[in-house]
Amino acid sequence: MKKNILILSLLTLQLTIAQVGGEHIYNFLNVPTSARNAALGGKVLTFIDDVNQPTWNPAMINQEMDNQLGVNYVNYLTDINYGSLNYAYLVDRHIGTIHGGITFVDYGEMIGADENGIETGTFKARDIAVSIGYARQIPWQNFYVGANLKWINQTIENYSSNGVSADVALLFYDDDKPFIITAVVRNMGYQITLFDETREKLPLAVELGFSYQLEQIPLKWYITAENLQRWKIAIANPSDNETSIDGSVSIKNPTVIDTFTRHFIVGGELFSNKNFNLRLGYNFRRAKELRLTEARTFAGFSFGFGIKLNKRMKFNYAYTKYHPVSNSSTFSLQFDMN
C-alpha cells in the first residue's frame, strides 16, 4: 500500500518509538525488532540467552550464543516494514565471542509532490544500521562490560545521511543469583553527512535493566528504566485541559508521579526456560501518550509467545497495542546452527 506523503509516515513513527521529543535523527534505532523484546513492553535488557539482545545491550554477548542466528520481521504502522539479522561467533576461548547485526527499515513507495501539491512521481525511503559488538568479563568478578559500534545510513529519495554511533554497557550476572542487573548507554554518536546544513543529534538513551526469576513459580519479571538522560519527558496533554464556565482554560500539567512512571516498562515471562513461553508487557509512557480520553484503547500493552519447533529452531511472536486503528505484529526465528 502506498503512503501519500513521507511526512505522515515519519511523524507516525516518531510518535510511537518511545523517543523523547522529535528532535533527533536515526530514531529507528530505538524500535524493537525482536518479538521477545516487543512482547515484554518493547525494551528488555537482560536476556542472557537471546542472540538478538546484544543489539540493545552488548554486555550480554557470551560464548553460549556461538553460531546462533536471529531473524526478525516487524509489520509496523502504516505498512512500514522493519527487520533485523543478528549472529554471534565464538572466535576462541581466549578472544571470546563477536556479535554482528543488521537492522533495516523500508518505508515503501510514496508519492512526491511540490510546494503546490502537484505530484512529481514516486520515491522511496529506507534506513539501515550495521553493528559489531564485543564483551568481556572483568577478571575475578561477576561483572561484564560490552560495546557496540554502528554505521548508520538514512536515505530519502536522492538525499542521504550517514552517521556512526556506539553503545556501552555494564552487566552484573551470577549463575547462583536469581536476578540480573545492567546499565546501558546507547546511541552515542555523530552525524557525518547531513540532509541539509543542520547537524542533528542522535537519539541518546541511558537505561537500566533488571530481571528476577521467582523460585517457586515459573515466572520471570523484567523491569526497564529508560530515558534516564532526561527527567522531564512528559508534557501537558491539551485533551486533559479543563474549561470553566467563564471560558478560562486550566492546563493540567503532569505530576511528579506521572513523570516518574513514564520512565518504566514492566513485563512478565511465564515458563521462560521451557519449550513454550507466554509473555505480557506494559509500557507506561506509550500508554499515557497514545491513550484516548473518551475510550479505552489498551495502549501500552503487549503480549506474545515463544515455541521451540525443534532442537535447532524457536519461533517467537508479539502483538503490540498502539491505537484502535493501528497496531503491530513482530515475528522472530532463532536458529542454533551448531
What's the confidence (pLDDT) of residue 19? 43
What tens digit of pLDDT does each residue of 74-96 get? Answer: 988 777 889 999 999 999 988 99
103-117, 126-140, 212-226, 298-312, range with the lowest pLDDT: 103-117
Domain boundaries, the chain: 6-228+263-268
Average pLDDT, the chain: 87
Q: How confident is the model at residue 124 (pLDDT cuts 50, 70, 90)?
A: confident
- Please provide the DSSP assignment of 222-266 as one string: EEEE--TT-S------GGG-EE-TTS-EE--PPPHHHHHHTTEEE
Q: How far apart are CA 183 and CA 185, in angstroms?
A: 7
Q: Would you say residue 23 has pLDDT above 80?
A: no
5-14, 233-242, 283-292 — most confident range? 283-292
Q: How confident is the model at residue 5 (pLDDT cuts 50, 70, 90)?
A: very low
Q: How far apart are CA 203 and CA 223, in angstroms?
A: 21
Whole-Å CA distances, 198 to 153, 192, 205: 17, 11, 21
| Cβ partners under 8 Å of residue 187, min gap 6 | 26, 29, 30, 165, 167, 202, 203, 204, 205
**Which of 335, 300, 334 lies closest to 319, judged by CA?**
300
Q: pTM of the predicted model, to two decimals?
A: 0.86
Q: How far apart are CA 262 and CA 288, in angstroms?
A: 8
Q: How confident is the model at residue 290 (pLDDT cuts 50, 70, 90)?
A: confident
What tens digit of pLDDT does each residue of 202-234 get? Answer: 999 999 999 999 988 999 999 999 999 998 887
What's the confidence (pLDDT) of residue 249? 63
Q: How far apart are CA 250 and CA 242, in angstroms?
A: 5
Burial 28-64 (b: 16+ CB within 10 A, else e): bbbbbbbbbbbbbbbbbbbbeebbbbbbbbbbbbbee
Cell numbers for 53:
539482545
Q: How confident is the model at residue 240 (pLDDT cuts 50, 70, 90)?
A: low
